[in-house]
Amino acid sequence: MPSELSPIDKAKFVAARKATEYVKSGMKVGLGSGSTAAWLVQCLGELVRDEGLRMKGVPTSSRTARLAREVGIEVISLDEAKWLDVSIDGTDEYDGNLNLIKGGGGSHLQEKIVATASDRMIVIADVTKKVETLGAFPLPLEVIPFGWQTTKTLIEETLIGMDVLGQTTTLRMNGDAPYISDEGNHILDLHLNRIGNPRQLSLMLNQIPGVVENGLFIDICDIVIVGHGDGLVEVHDINQDQVEKTKFDFLDDGNLFSEDM
Ligand code: 5RP
């Protein structure tokens, strides 16, 4: 029930709810991963069940695929869809140019492929995800298990020449074992604190043998929809100077109504 949510979950929920306005009947939609994207999938499921929205979803993780099926969304693969009208996903950080760090949930490889295969990418975020400069959140790198320690050394050597403030690299764990992504790979988290030149870093990291994909999304996101705990939603569109604002109000019965500002 939305009215019983914590302020952070209200912020995620209203951002997700606003994003559903960009999904029209007949569309093929990339479905992101993580807790904010889970709200989106639930909101879309409600529209499919109750409002007759016809859409097909391409999930970016096994978790999202499971949830989408549970809520009644028709799930297809990216190869079946070939190209998507829009993809909607969460983020770990976004900056003023709408560049992102993603992969906190370990799904950035599929997320980046899906977002890049979409007419536009919409990011949904609570207000805490906004940063001046990317890098406070550790940058995830998906690496193949074969020779991952050698890959890690090559990454650390590459970081020495880059405009970053930290160079610690850690293998993501799941309990006592290395975390395994949906593609069967490991994740290295790069604790960089500040990334001076995200575009250059992204290009350099992806050239290292063994690195499959990094979590920097440069020039991929078109719109960031930012939710606040009081129901305020801001839409930052890379092609518009003005920020659009909407206020959602939580009613006692758990329903929402919105008012453009
Ligand atoms: C998963 C992601 C998520 O979008 C990111 O971690 C944000 O998650 P949340 O919405 O739970 O804060 O990139 O790989």
pLDDT tens figures, 120-130: 999 999 999 99
Ligand 1 atom closest to the CA of 36, numbered from 1: 10
For ligand 1, the distance from its centroid to the CA atom of residue 140, given in whole angstroms, is: 11
pLDDT, position 214:
98
Give the pLDDT confidence score for residue 3 in this predicted structure: 59
pLDDT band at 24 (very low <50, low <70, confident <90, very high): very high
Q: Which of 10-19, 167-176, 207-216, 243-252 has the lowest mean pLDDT?
A: 243-252
Q: What is the pLDDT of residues 155-170, one digit of tens each?
A: 999 999 899 999 999 9
Check if 91 has its Cβ closer than 6 Å to any atom of ligand 1.
yes
* Whole-prediction pTM: 0.96
CA distance 168 to 191: 5
Q: Is the CB of 35 under 6 A from ligand 1?
A: yes
Fold classification of 2-130+219-260 (topology level): Rossmann fold (3.40.50)
Catalytic residues: 111
Q: Which CATH class is domain 139-215?
A: alpha beta
Q: How many residues in the chain?
A: 261
Say yes or no to pLDDT of 172 above 90.
Answer: yes
* Rounded alpha-carbon distances, angstroms, from residue 222 to 14, 123, 167, 169, 177: 19, 8, 30, 30, 37
Average pLDDT, the chain: 96
Q: H or E segment at 84?
A: strand 84-89
Could you tell me the residue ranges of all domains in the chain? 2-130+219-260, 139-215
Residues near 42 by Cβ (< 8 Å), separated by ≥ 6? 16, 67, 71
- Residue with the smallest CA separation from ligand 1 atom 2 is 103
Instruction: Tell me the average pLDDT across 173-187.
Output: 98
33 neighbors 64 (Cβ within 8 angstroms): yes
pLDDT, tens digit (0-9, with 9 covering 90-100), for 31-46: 999 999 999 999 999 9
Q: What is the three-class DSSP state of 57?
A: strand
